[in-house]
Amino acid sequence: MSATAKPSAKLTAATLRARKGTGERTVFLTAYDVVFARLADEAGIDAVLVGDSMGMVVQGERSTLGVTVDDVVYHCRIVSRGIARAHLVADLPFMSYQASVEDGMRAAGRLIKEGAAEAVKLEGGEDVAELTRRLVRAGIPVVGHVGLTPQSIHQIGGFKVQGRTDAQRAKVLADARAVSEAGAYAVVLEAIPHALAAEITASVAALTIGIGAGADCDGQVMVMHDLLGLQPSWKPRFVRRYAELGQAAGDAFAAYAADVRAGRFPSREETYE
């Protein structure tokens, strides 16, 4: 297969999980609406994540903490309409699962039944192992998320790289092992040193999906807005921009406004007789 050709069979948690150890890398990307979901799907993205990053990139908040289950259900349902091949994962938002396993089961059930998600992602390690086990037993595939866990920013003290001290390193490793052993088919490793990500990748059964975790993971996830340059002033170290759509959109809006004000738009060709 050429680098650009894409297979057409629907991807599932099981087909992605079967890639572990084969060297085939898995590409996750976030999306929040049908237009970008369709573009991602048609471009051959393997898994689309309806992330609680929507709190920041769609809703304009400073964190992900205000996102609700209703928000994720709403965006996930919309995204699902743009997807034919990719696997669809939805985030369990803050406080939809931290208070009890039952809360988490019900919230996950809503993401699957109402949002049309095919898997759920949740942050944490040993503390969410029991919920992970219960979800998997109930037939809901789970993606874990360890390292920098944005739902804990107040405890962490901000969006900071994790796993640099011995204690943090041991915790991230134990968390990744716990969710993998509990049955998660994949685990996101966010903002950790690449050597730790490599060690986790070699030692867990789950696929490791990195973001700010180096090149030795089994796959990668990016927030769509970062990759497309939709927020031109935001360029952290781990982001590679593949387009400058923020700049292009701003230029297009300014050109449109200038044309209207100068009487250049609409022209006769753009007008009905």
Which residues of the chain form contacts with ligand KIV (CB under 6 A)?
30, 49, 51-53, 91, 145, 188, 211, 221, 223
Query: Quick one: 246 exposed, middle or buried, by C-beta within 10 A (0-12, 13-18, 19+)?
Result: middle
Separation in Å, CA 204 to CA 17, 20, 181, 209, 220: 12, 10, 8, 12, 16
Name the residue nearer to ligand KIV (CB basis): 3 or 108.
108
Residue in 118, 123, 190, 199 annotated catalytic:
190
Residues in a beta bridge with 128: none
Tokens of 224: 């769509």
Name the residue nearer to ligand KIV (CB basis): 61 or 251.
61
Per the annotation, the verdict on 130 as an active-site residue is no
Name the residue nearer to ligand KIV (CB basis): 90 or 112.
90
CB of 200 to ligand KIV, least distance (A): 15
CB of 120 to ligand KIV, least distance (A): 12
Name the residue nearer to ligand KIV (CB basis): 11 or 32.
32
Distance CA 39, CA 28 (A): 13
CB of 150 to ligand KIV, least distance (A): 7
CB of 9 to ligand KIV, least distance (A): 25
What single letter denotes the amino acid at residue 256? Y
* Cα angle value 69/74/78 (rounded, 5°): 145
Separation in Å, CA 128 to CA 109, 172, 176, 184, 273: 16, 13, 11, 11, 64
Name the residue nearer to ligand KIV (CB basis): 193 or 219.
219
Closest residue to ligand KIV: CB criterion? 51
CB of 44 to ligand KIV, least distance (A): 19
Tokens of 95: 């406080």
Contact (CB, 8 A) for 52 and 67: yes
Tokens of 70: 């209703």
Contact (CB, 8 A) for 122 and 132: yes
The pairing of strands 142-147 and 186-190 is parallel
Active-site residues: which are they?
A: 190
